[in-house]
Amino acid sequence: MEQLLKMGAMELARNIAKKKVSSLEVVDAHIARIEAVNPKINAVVAQRFEQARAEAKAAGEAVVADAKLPPLHGVPFTVKDTFALTGMPHTAGTVHRKDHIAQQDATAVARLRAAGAIPLGVTNVPELAMWFETYNQVYGRTCNPYGLDHIVGGSSGGEAAIIAAGGSPFGIGSDVGGSIRMPAFFCGIFGHKPTGGAVPMTGHYPRASGAAGRYNVAGPMARRAKDLMPLLRIMAGSDDQDESVIDLEWDEPKSVGFKNRRILVCHDINAKLAVGTNQEMRTAVERAALALSGKGGAVESWSSPRLREAVFIWSAMLSQAGGPSFGELMGQGKSPSYAFELLRSAFGASKHTFPAIVLALMEELFGRQGEQEMRRLVQLGVELRQELEEALGDDAILIMPTHPRQAPKHNVPLLRPFDFIFTGILNVLELPCTAVPMGLGPGMVPLGVQIVAGHGKDHMTIAAAQFLEKNNGGWAIPVRSLM
């Protein structure tokens, strides 16, 4: 059982296909692990264990019959609550949807199921998926399996936590400001934010529209780097419903070598309102650069003065992309009275979390900058995208901190609300990024970096993740806090 909880998705699929283990054994092992750890971390908020067991039995019969098997045949996985999973709650962590049950799978979920994967349940998110600590008024708070007093990140925090704890080999997350990469980093697993528009967001709530449909992206989260590319290929491509989707063709990660490759390094983006990176994060970046340049690659420093405005660029580009505001989503079409909601929150009477109220208020304040200033910031974002694309060219990758420091303690993000921008700025640049664990740091809490490449070059960042996993160990199942 312990070995099954350490295998990646594709390795499990191969073992099931070769009859070395049954799908039911794999599913039962992961269900048992969820039942053991979930009372402590509160990651899986609704389960479908009996349906999963029935599907695993059917998967076993297909193997016995020597039928042609799909690539994820009999492998369990989990689904972020913002994605529709038929018959399961689809709340997005907001009280006004607490009784909403999905009637149809989201496109990305349907594609994973068609590839043979078996969903175990849905995982926790912050309210409306817009905060980097995972808690809400529907399901409560999720805790980090490496230290229960630490956050798991957001908004794909429940996904990262249960994968890190060994309860799921992979999952599906979404990312508009770092919502795949921050949780992956805080919980010591792999997470990939694809090139903007690579994966349909049909069946995701909240649903982005216009240009924001390329900023808010779906992607895989996994305990093994080798699973990222196969999972991405399964989920990607047009579904004739999401107009933001672009069809991309990727080489295999194994085709990417690092001999003579340029390795760009950015230790700190020095953004206004965000804090600077600490020494542990700088060292993690240096270790990753040293490993990747070990085959003869050339390491170069990269930064841009435009990054100083990163928080304002992200906010302006998201605002100008169109669609309902966060405040309108909170108020179901009409922005609530923030002063009244803050007062209610102080007495524990609001239906909204304090971070959600503050975020909506900040969104409104940022929106008052004036049309001319908004246009300037959007143009600055376009220039930053061009500058970074030119620096990367066809062959370079960029190593950056995923966050200024390791997973903070609970509620600390309220004191540093803009630190998400280390990941967020890359969403509006629409570039592929992979979060890569780099072992454990002080307090036995994960360290990591994010790897960036040019538009459509997802295979390069995933190749770097695979290389670093091989050289640095990758994910390790947490023991101390879950004993």
* Residue type at position 39: P
Closest CA to 422 of 317, 318, 276: 276
Q: Is 22 a catalytic residue?
A: no
Return d(Cα 131, Cα 219) in angstroms, integer: 18
Q: Is 179 a catalytic residue?
A: yes
Strands (E), 131-259: 135-136, 140-141, 170-175, 190-193, 217-222
Closest CA to 192 of 244, 241, 162, 233: 233
Return d(Cα 202, Cα 182) in angstroms, integer: 23
Q: Which is the catalytic residue, given 80, 193, 226, 457?
A: 80
Contact 190, 433 (CB under 8 A): no
Return d(Cα 178, Cα 312) in angstroms, integer: 16
Contact 320, 313 (CB under 8 A): no
Q: Is 238 a catalytic residue?
A: no
Closest CA to 224 of 5, 60, 46: 5
How many CB atoms sit inside 10 A of residue 262's CB? 18
* Residue type at position 312: F
Q: Return the H-helix or E-strand segment holding 433.
A: strand 433-440
Task: Label residue 295 left, alpha or beta by phi (over 0 means left) and psi (-120 to 50 means alpha).
Answer: alpha
Q: Which is the catalytic residue, given 23, 155, 174, 293?
A: 155
- CA dihedral (236, 240, 245, 250) in degrees, to 10, reads 40
Q: Which is the catalytic residue, given 22, 156, 179, 244?
A: 179
Strands (E), 106-229: 118-123, 135-136, 140-141, 170-175, 190-193, 217-222
Residues known to be catalytic: 80, 155, 179
